């Protein structure tokens, strides 16, 4: 079996590539400019020499077709695009244009050149509206509260349209928050863990936005397994991928600082200038359909995620290797 992972150098792409390699796949991966891209995540997982890397400008339909023709994938995973909700407010055009047009070009290339290939799209829990304290399900109402969410709503719909209109095996994995040591420092979870690890020696203060939010945090290696299982299903479909449990951001912060024997109240403050224009207080998803149809459930909950990220960060502090995810 051959797989093409678009966005292979990111957190999810790297973990997915490792999973597929362990299953015996011939793994191809794309980046916008391979020669100028960081291979840190692949190096971290020690798979940098096992993935066939291709440069692909997803906004160039001819280039996308060339990559699909060369790689001839049985399975294609679309994990590309700008991945930060916060950054999408500063870069709305790039966020929407790159994510939506890129997937459209990929779907067209598959339809025209390799229509039997199975396509997975990394959708997001950000597509849902404010559900209060209810868990989001596959048919919960959609409401985009950020440019990032708008792009994800559009790509989610594109997958469904190519599934229903063209008969492609095209599926959405509606991914809620999932973390790992491969997260860049621009993500709040990695920012918290890295600051906590340094604070014992530096005493530094960490400024965050709203502290009164609750999120459904899982472990990225668990979530990439759901991607693979989605394409092994007997029919294309959409699945919420989540732990089913929401935790307060203050709980995440408290556990991270406690790992380093610190009281977070002494090191963390809320800065209103960091508040997003729109931010739901509560966000969590129900994994029941994925459990029933795919046999998937997250093996790790938020406390496990915090502990494993802190353990990895602690190792970084005791080595001279470059910082991961910087």
Cite the active site residues. 124, 126, 148
Question: Cβ–Cβ contacts within 10 Å for residue 154, how many?
Answer: 17
Q: How many CA atoms lie within 13 A of 232 on its CB side?
A: 14
Q: For residue 325, which of 212, 123, 139, 182 has the smallest C-alpha distance?
A: 182
- Cα distance between residue 286 and residue 293, in whole Å: 13
- Cα distance between residue 186 and residue 64, in whole Å: 29
- Cα distance between residue 220 and residue 255, in whole Å: 19
Question: Cβ–Cβ contacts within 10 Å for residue 316, how many?
Answer: 16
The answer to whether the beta carbons of residues 119 and 159 sit under 8 Å apart is yes
The answer to whether the beta carbons of residues 176 and 283 sit under 8 Å apart is yes
Determine the angle formed by the axes of helices 188-202 and 302-317, rounding to 10 degrees.
Answer: 50
Q: Write the DSSP symbol of residue 267.
A: T
Q: How many CA atoms lie within 13 A of 143 on its CB side?
A: 11
φ/ψ of residue 48, rounded to 5: -60, -25
The answer to whether the beta carbons of residues 92 and 147 sit under 8 Å apart is yes
| Tokens coding 159 | 């997958």
What is the distance of C-alpha 236 from the center of its chain? Answer: 20
């Amino acid at each position: 079996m051959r797989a093409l992972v678009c966005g292979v150098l990111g957190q999810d792409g790297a973990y997915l590539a490792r999973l597929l390699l362990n299953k015996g796949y011939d793994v191809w991966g794309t980046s916008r400019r391979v020669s100028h891209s960081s291979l840190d995540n692949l190096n971290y997982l020690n798979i940098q020499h096992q993935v066939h890397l291709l440069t692909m400008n997803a906004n160039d339909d001819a280039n996308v077709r060339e990559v699909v023709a060369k790689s001839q994938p049985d399975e294609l995973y679309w994990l590309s695009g700008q991945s930060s909700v916060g950054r999408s407010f500063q870069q709305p055009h790039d966020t929407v244009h790159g994510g939506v047009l890129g997937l459209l070009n990929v779907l067209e290339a598959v339809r025209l050149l390799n229509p039997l290939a199975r396509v997975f799209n990394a959708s997001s829990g950000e597509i849902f509206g404010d559900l209060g304290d209810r868990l989001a399900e596959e048919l919960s109402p959609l409401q985009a509260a950020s440019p990032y969410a708008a792009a994800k709503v559009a790509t989610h719909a594109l997958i469904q349209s190519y599934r229903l209109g063209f008969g492609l095996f095209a599926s959405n994995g509606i991914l809620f928050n999932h973390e790992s040591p491969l997260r860049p420092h621009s993500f709040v979870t990695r920012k918290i863990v890295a600051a906590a690890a340094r604070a014992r020696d530096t005493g530094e203060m960490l400024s965050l936005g709203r502290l009164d939010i609750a999120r459904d945090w899982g472990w990225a290696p668990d979530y990439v397994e759901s991607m693979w299982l989605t394409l092994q299903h007997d029919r294309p479909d959409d699945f919420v991928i989540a732990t089913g449990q929401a935790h307060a951001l203050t709980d995440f912060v408290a556990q991270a600082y406690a790992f380093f024997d610190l009281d977070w109240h002494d090191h963390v403050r809320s800065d209103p200038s960091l508040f997003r224009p729109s931010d739901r207080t509560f966000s969590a998803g129900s994994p029941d359909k994925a459990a029933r149809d795919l046999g998937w459930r997250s093996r790790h909950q938020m406390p496990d995620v915090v502990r494993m990220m802190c353990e990895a960060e602690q190792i970084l502090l005791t080595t001279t290797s470059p910082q991961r995810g910087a």
